[in-house]
Amino acid sequence: FLLQVKDLFSSLGVGCNVLELDQVDDGAGVQEVLSEITNQKTVPNIFVNKVHVGGCDRTFQAHQSGLLQKLLKENSAYEYDLIVIGGGSGGLACAKEAAILGKKVMVLDFVVPSPQGTSWGLGGTCVNVGCIPKKLMHQAALLGQALHDSRKFGWEYNQQVKHNWETMVDAIQNHISSLNWGYRLSLREKAVTYLNAYGEFVEHHKIKATNRKGQETCHTAAKFVIATGERPRYLGIQGDKEYCITSDDLFSLRYCPGKTLVVGASYVALECAGFLAGLGLDVTVMVRSIILRGFDQEMAEKLSSYMEQQHGVKFLRKFVPVMVQQLEKGSPGKLKVVAKSTEGPETIDGIYNTVLLAIGRDSCTRKIGLEKIGVKINEKNGKIPVNDVEQTNVSYVYAIGDILEGKPELTPVAIQAGKLLARRLFGTSSEKCDYINVPTTVFTPLEYGCCGLSEEKAIEVYKKENLEVFHSFFWPLEWTVAGRENNVCYAKIICNKLDHDRVIGFHVLGPNAGEITQGFAVAMKCRLTKRQLDETVGIHPTCGEVFTTLEITKSLGLDITQKGC
């Protein structure tokens, strides 16, 4: 009984003092006095802030009726019901939902400036230095392509077309400022206390907040959510922090970056390389080993060869930078990069105006005092392991978003997890976040959308002989008159033969891949099968319709190239 009650209190995020009567000197005497004042002879005998509640059953009844929570709250030892550390996608969603459910909530958000000195406002990575500016820059590049196509469709113009980087950055940054403002407003509306300060745990249920001026305050809460996200990784070579930039700096860069070396082959690296080339810059991507690790490698290969052959991006494969030197200062200046082969003693060097590092991101979990309260992290990658309700190994501390171990690092995932967590903690819901079949899109010049498993992963899990892979090239109608290349846009689905040809992997390479993939992801949530795809009537003429007419399997090995003029 005692254990059950202890569990109940710890699930409510409250500590309790336990007096074991058979382990104290005058246990019998205490029991006598207890039964005198409470009329209860049995144990456990529970008090909340000096108010007698009863035994185990009475305590659980009080919990069900809400009386227990009321007793705890009236005399709560903590300033807040919830403190959220990190005001990004996940943190804001969680804080707002908790406030809607009537809780007293504080959010701390603080941006440690990048080594180049860049910082930004409320809202986290996605809004300020992620999804939003990168999709807008991708759009800027797509418009350049559209201008090109437009002549084939009869548009005539004589002015020389050129791109103005400053104008684009100003427009995008203005939009971001309006989003920052909107976030502040919505926190105020919901009466969430916002602190623009860096938070770290100092003891159980207590954090220290340090603002820009170095002023410190302390705050306590019954529960905590960690949503501190990640920051770009550096190489740890001579000159990297001094002279290189990362995606944290690129989107607000005051000058056009010029000839650029992008180091890395993450989706961030390829997206940045793609739009910079689309804006007319000379771009090289230096790749250590695998392109788009974790994604379907056939798609990654097709996507990068499109960038190389049709989009003018150069790839330097199997090289890593070993030194970055400044040759000239300026906006941009001139940098010399020395790189070494990963396969032998060969070294090469090159001159660039800008070196953009996109080699990965590190979780912001090592400088927030987790060791003070014993929250477990994976020492290797700094990620926080949680159970299926986003609870860390310290029961009143939860974690969401990019810092989670083994979960997709995407904004809608962080938002969903944050919102559902607040509803479970403070509402009546028990719905858990579902991390399966999360769709995503890489916004490279040729966009790549996917949902479910890569072909490699599917083979690993289900074995090749149990899979049927349907695929086809397709030629968007808009591309035909424009004279753009055939046999680069590509559709592929992976079906599980042992389960009614269920679609377990969806992959599309082509224009508007994100818009296409979103709808099919819904279908996959509804356990889409190949037959249902075949029974669906297409919309003509679109790119998405290709998925309703897929006939050729990889196992048959028939030619999928489209004959067009």
Ligand X SMILES: Cc1cc2nc3c(=O)[nH]c(=O)nc-3n(C[C@H](O)[C@H](O)[C@H](O)COP(=O)(O)OP(=O)(O)OC[C@H]3O[C@@H](n4cnc5c(N)ncnc54)[C@H](O)[C@@H]3O)c2cc1C
R_g (Cα) of the chain, nearest Å: 28
- How far is the CA of 385 from the CAs of 93, 260, 390, 404, 516, in angstroms? 20, 37, 8, 6, 33
175 counts as binding ligand NAG under rule CB under 6 A? no
Give the residue with the Cβ less far from ligand NAG, 152 or 366: 366
Q: Which of 151, 376, 464, 527 binds ligand NAG (CB under 6 A)?
A: 376
Q: Which of 115, 312, 412, 427 binds ligand X (CB under 6 A)?
A: 412
Select the span of 13-21, 81-89, 138-146, 315-323 touching ligand X (CB under 6 A): 81-89
Q: Is 540 a catalytic residue?
A: yes
> Is 89 known as a binding-site position?
no
Separation CA 284–CA 505 (nearest Å): 31
- Nearest approach, Cβ of residue 394 and ligand NAG (Å): 5
Would you give the DSSP letter of residue 404? B
Give the residue with the Cβ less far from ligand NAG, 322 or 394: 394
> Is 88 known as a binding-site position?
no
Q: Which of 146, 394, 438, 482 binds ligand NAG (CB under 6 A)?
A: 394
The option from ligand X, ligand NAG, none interacting with 394 (CB < 5 to 8 A, set by class) reads ligand NAG
Give the residue with the Cβ less far from ligand X, 200 or 478: 200
| Nearest residue to ligand X, scored by beta-carbon proximity | 88
372 counts as binding ligand NAG under rule CB under 6 A? no
> Is 429 known as a binding-site position?
no
> Is 129 known as a binding-site position?
no
DSSP 3-state of 384:
strand
DSSP bridge partners of 220: 206
Q: Which of 80, 198, 295, 448 binds ligand X (CB under 6 A)?
A: 198
Separation CA 141–CA 34 (nearest Å): 76
H/E segment holding residue 60: helix 56-65
85 counts as binding ligand X under rule CB under 6 A? yes
> Is 135 known as a binding-site position?
yes
Residues 547 and 491 sit within 8 Å (Cβ to Cβ): yes
Separation CA 437–CA 123 (nearest Å): 26
Contacts of 142 (CB under 8 A, 6+ apart): 278
374 counts as binding ligand NAG under rule CB under 6 A? yes
182 counts as binding ligand NAG under rule CB under 6 A? no
Scored b (16 or more CB within 10 A) or e, 344-374 reads eeeeeebebbbbbbbbebebbbeebbbeebe
Report the Cα 305 to chain-centroid distance in Å: 27
Give the residue with the Cβ less far from ligand NAG, 221 or 442: 221
Q: Give me the helix-helix angle, 56-65 and 67-74, nearest 10°.
A: 80
The option from ligand NAG, ligand X, none interacting with 108 (CB < 5 to 8 A, set by class) reads ligand X
DSSP bridge partners of 468: 495
> Binding residues for ligand X, per CB under 6 A?
85-91, 108-111, 124-126, 130-131, 134, 198-200, 227-229, 247, 268, 364, 368, 401-402, 409-412, 414
Known binding residues: 135, 199, 264-271, 360, 402
Query: What is the contact surface with ligand NAG in residues (CB under 6 A)?
Result: 374, 376, 393-394
Question: What are the residue numbers of the active site?
Answer: 540
